[in-house]
Amino acid sequence: MATKEEIIQERLPRHIAVIMDGNGRWAKKRGNQRIFGHRNGVKSVRETVEAAAELGVSYLTLYAFSRENWNRPSHEIDALMSLLVSTVERETKTLMDNNIQLLTIGDVQGLPFKVQDKIQEALDKTSANTGLKLVLALNYSGRWELSEALRRFGEDYKAGNVSGSPDEKELNQYLTTSHIPDPDLLIRTSGEARLSNFLLWQLAYTELYFTDVLWPDFRKENLFEAIVNYQSRERRFGKTSEQVVRNKSKNNAPQYG
């Protein structure tokens, strides 16, 4: 398992995104209900946020609830919503103590009012914090975000506010992540190797890291391991290896955030 000391500070990923997967299987292995896995997943959320803040990562995005998750049994959805409310309520002080700003992406207005209120409270309270930005993806999906962006662009076009041929930079302004840089590293736990409709536009040049660890078992050391692995890779952004080695300072992906 990797240690914090193995991480090269100068090459820290600025933005890490996480698909927290495997809660249900973790619980099942223990003969428990799926919600038991989600509850234990909160400990991993805490560890990951703490570790990212300690390291000096700028953005951490967690896929907490996808639009597709509405297809789960209603008792599991209710339990996940309650868990979200209680966790945000309980952890807002921790966010304040650690100068962490909470942000959200996704269709938050489609969540139950109680959840919206709690989230809004935490967003307001932490809005002046200048450390890690913790982004919760709530009622989010990549295709939803892209179709919303196109719909809103269409409205602006009809109103005469924009020209009819937007470039990538202009389209990026319509995404819920318009002020957030693209992720450098995506982690998915539980041995599944797919994107599940997460940040489809933003992950264009992101390094993908898949681990068999189930989310409730994910600890700081697992995050360090993912970062060490990321740092061993050469990010080429379409260039040749020789170009990248020759001119490291220009080794940047197109960034709109």
Closest distance to ligand FPP from the beta carbon of 255 (Å): 26
Closest distance to ligand FPP from the beta carbon of 133 (Å): 14
Query: Is there binding between residue 213 and ligand FPP (CB under 6 A)?
Result: no
User: Binders of ligand FPP among 75-94, rule CB under 6 A?
Assistant: 83-84, 87
Q: By rule CB under 6 A, what string of x and - marks binding of each residue 17-36 to ligand FPP?
A: ---xxxxxx--------x--
Segment 168-175 long-range contacts (CB within 8 Å, at least 24 positions apart): 168/254, 168/256, 169/256, 172/201, 172/256, 172/257, 173/256, 174/148, 174/149, 174/150, 175/145, 175/146, 175/149, 175/201, 175/202
Assign 134 to helix, strand or coil.
strand
Nearer to ligand FPP, 95 or 149 (CB): 95
255: burial class by Cβ within 10 Å (0-12, 13-18, 19+)? exposed
Task: Give the integer Cα–Cα distance in Å for 200 and 58.
Answer: 21
* Residue whose structure tokens are 């061993």: 232
Closest distance to ligand FPP from the beta carbon of 172 (Å): 25
Count of alpha carbons within 13 angstroms of residue 109, beta-carbon side: 0
Query: Is there binding between residue 45 and ligand FPP (CB under 6 A)?
Result: yes
User: Binders of ligand FPP among 59-78, rule CB under 6 A?
Assistant: 62, 64, 69
Nearer to ligand FPP, 70 or 237 (CB): 70
Number of residues near ligand FPP (by CB under 6 A): 19
Nearer to ligand FPP, 90 or 179 (CB): 90
Closest distance to ligand FPP from the beta carbon of 25 (Å): 3
Query: Is there binding between residue 38 and ligand FPP (CB under 6 A)?
Result: yes
Residues making up the chain, counted from first to last: 257
The per-residue b/e assignment along 58-68, b for 16 or more CB within 10 angstroms, e otherwise, is bbbbbbbbbbe
- The DSSP 8-state label assigned to residue 70 in this structure reads G
168: burial class by Cβ within 10 Å (0-12, 13-18, 19+)? exposed
Whether 99 is catalytic: no
Query: Is there binding between residue 106 and ligand FPP (CB under 6 A)?
Result: no
User: Binders of ligand FPP among 131-150, rule CB under 6 A?
Assistant: 136
Nearer to ligand FPP, 172 or 189 (CB): 189
Which listed range, 40-48, 111-119, 121-129, 202-210, lies at the site for ligand FPP (CB under 6 A)?
40-48
Name the H helices within 56-140.
74-97, 113-126
Whether 21 is catalytic: yes
Residues that bind ligand FPP (CB under 6 A): 20-25, 34, 38, 41-42, 45, 62, 64, 69, 83-84, 87, 136, 190
Catalytic residues: 21, 69
